[in-house]
Amino acid sequence: MYIYNVTTNIEDKAHEKWLQWMKTTHIPQVLSTGKFLSAKMTKVLAEEGTGQTYSVQYTVASKEILQAYYEEDAPKLREDALRLFADQIISFRTELEVIDEFFVHRNTATHHLFTYGTLKEKEVQLGVFSRLLGGFDDILQGHKISEYKVAGLYPTIETSQNPEDLIKGTVYVLTDEELQKADNYEGDAYERREVLLSSGKKAWVYLAK
């Protein structure tokens, strides 16, 4: 995953107009290209220099998709910015590659969900929960990968008679609302059951009906 970072300094006299335009027009237009997963706008807290400085970070799945944005979308979007604000803004752009991510695990969260399939993918998490989940590895014993696949594509697991059968997965901590979103994502083909993991924690897991 990559981050496309755009840092902009805007003169004070155009600050409010530019900020409103960024929130209601420009950032939605960038996201509407379908090439980015999310956007985060931050204000740089610095007392030196003049004007106001902001950083907008767009997450993108691959360098190839980012290059397609440069070629297909960026020229028109930059032209709009220059037409409206001309010499009132100075921007520079940086590409960042995400090497790893670390999250704080809060034991006070309400639901543990054991995952072994697509819910472990970052792009899916952003689409379902609008955030990346923090999790930890765990093992589900007495279960195995089923030969049956939902819709012929998606794996599922089933209970087995052999306690040595095990599934390695990741446990995420979800709120009530996020658990409902997970239910909606899995759909009617799966059912959610509570299981006991090797760590001793109880967690929800999705099995095919």
Query: What does the pLDDT average to over 76-96?
Result: 91
DSSP string for 153-204: TB--EEE-S-TT-EEEEEEEEE-HHHHHHHHHHH-TTEEEEEEE-TTS-EEE
Is the pLDDT assigned to residue 186 strictly greater than 90? no
- Determine whether 12 is exposed, middle or buried from the number of CB atoms within 10 Å of its CB (0-12, 13-18, 19+): exposed
- Higher-confidence residue of 25 and 104: namely 25
Name 90's bridge partners.
Answer: 9
- Higher-confidence residue of 153 and 23: namely 23
For the ranges 14-23, 40-49, 133-142, 159-168, the one whose mean pLDDT is highest: 14-23
Query: What is the model's pLDDT at position 93?
Result: 94
Residues 97-153 pLDDT 10s: 988 766 655 545 589 999 988 888 888 898 888 888 888 899 999 888 887 777 767
Are the CB atoms for 1 and 90 separated by under 8 Å?
no
pTM: 0.53
Query: What does the pLDDT average to over 42-71?
Result: 89
Residue span(s) of the chain under CATH 3.10.490.10 come to 111-208
Is the pLDDT assigned to residue 189 strictly greater than 90? no
> Of 7-21, 76-90, 123-137, 152-166, where does mean pLDDT reach its minimum?
152-166
Query: What does the pLDDT average to over 189-194?
Result: 88
- Assigned fold of 111-208: Hypothetical upf0131 protein ytfp (3.10.490)
Class of domain 2-97: alpha beta
Residue span(s) of the chain under CATH 3.30.70.100 come to 2-97
At residue 9, φ and ψ (nearest 5 deg) are -105, 125
